[in-house]
Amino acid sequence: MPDRTEQTAHEAHSNIGSVQDHTGSPLALHDPVLRWYDANARELPWREPGAGAWAVMVSEFMLQQTPVNRVLPAYRSWLERWPKPVDLAAEAPGEAVRAWDRLGYPRRALRLHAAAQAIVERHGGEVPDDHAALLALPGVGTYTAAAIASFAFGQRHAVVDTNVRRVLARSLTGVAQPSISPTAADQRLAVSALPADEPTAARWAVASMELGALICTARTPRCTDCPIQSQCAWVLAGSPPYDGPPRRGQTYEGTDRQARGRLLAVLRSASAPVPKTELDACWPDPVQRERALDGLVADGLVEPLSGGRYRLPA
């Protein structure tokens, strides 16, 4: 017997036909969602007409697991300092880590720096518009490549983040939440809902994502404000509660992640290599502190020097 995640994924795929019979087609969602987006989309700097592909790429790296309100100040500072990939590529990777500040998951900064170097070396300093070339860049996976190709270049790709997965799970398969982790069925469902022409598909990608971020939220969806409420399979089924595996929230206080963040904060604020005694003073548990420091070194985020000193990567 399949576990609940596999069962949900299978049901999501097999339910597409029955939902199409009820709503006519997933394509019936396009017009109301696009009209809603035109009237309600947030004004964000990476969506401005002249933002460019590098701005979109930076935003996508920063927005992974980080909310928009925290990203905006760092994004503006980043683009002011490094308006083009060549500007970032010319700096030491440690400067990218320093500028990442408190966005969390700082390995993203190293990957973005490595991607900038690859763009300079392979593509003449311009973010490539080819999907395969994007996928070949350091730190760029399936989602990020599709997002850049769609948002920056207006191409037709299924851009499938958590918000999109939730919108499609509810509207097309009638379940309260998608599976905990992305599945191949999620991707197939998103592809089945794509408009046929590129410009509309690109607008649909950002519009469906925005709908999930603002209206079809995880905990308190605003169904009465939703442009597809009358067509939503979940609403039509009576909004049944989620009955899958527990969805545990992430803890931070007292974790190795917090210890790593404290250590990095000391190094970010320093203009010269930091002696080990300064790092020892920032976290009380010596075993956890050493484990966190060893992890930062292994990840390439911190460089050990002679004399027991440490610095951001040069």
Separation between Cα atoms, residue 175 and residue 168, nearest integer Å: 9
Residue 278 is among the residues annotated as catalytic for this protein? no
- What's the angle, vertex CA 164, arms to CA 145 and CA 199, rounded to 5? 60
Q: Rounded to the nearest 5°, which phi and psi values hold at 104?
A: 85, 160
Contact 241, 176 (CB under 8 A): yes
Q: Round to the nearest angstrom and report the end-to-end CA distance of the chain.
A: 52
Q: Which of 29, 37, 35, 31 is nearest to 229 (CA)?
A: 29
Tell me how far apart the alpha carbons of residues 7 and 232 are, in angstroms, rounded to a whole number. 21
Of residues 48, 60, 126, 253, which has the active-site annotation?
A: 60
Q: Which residue has the tokens 């503006």?
A: 76
Helix (H) / strand (E) element for 311: namely: strand 309-311
Dist. CA 195–CA 177, nearest whole Å: 23
Positions annotated as catalytic residues are: 60
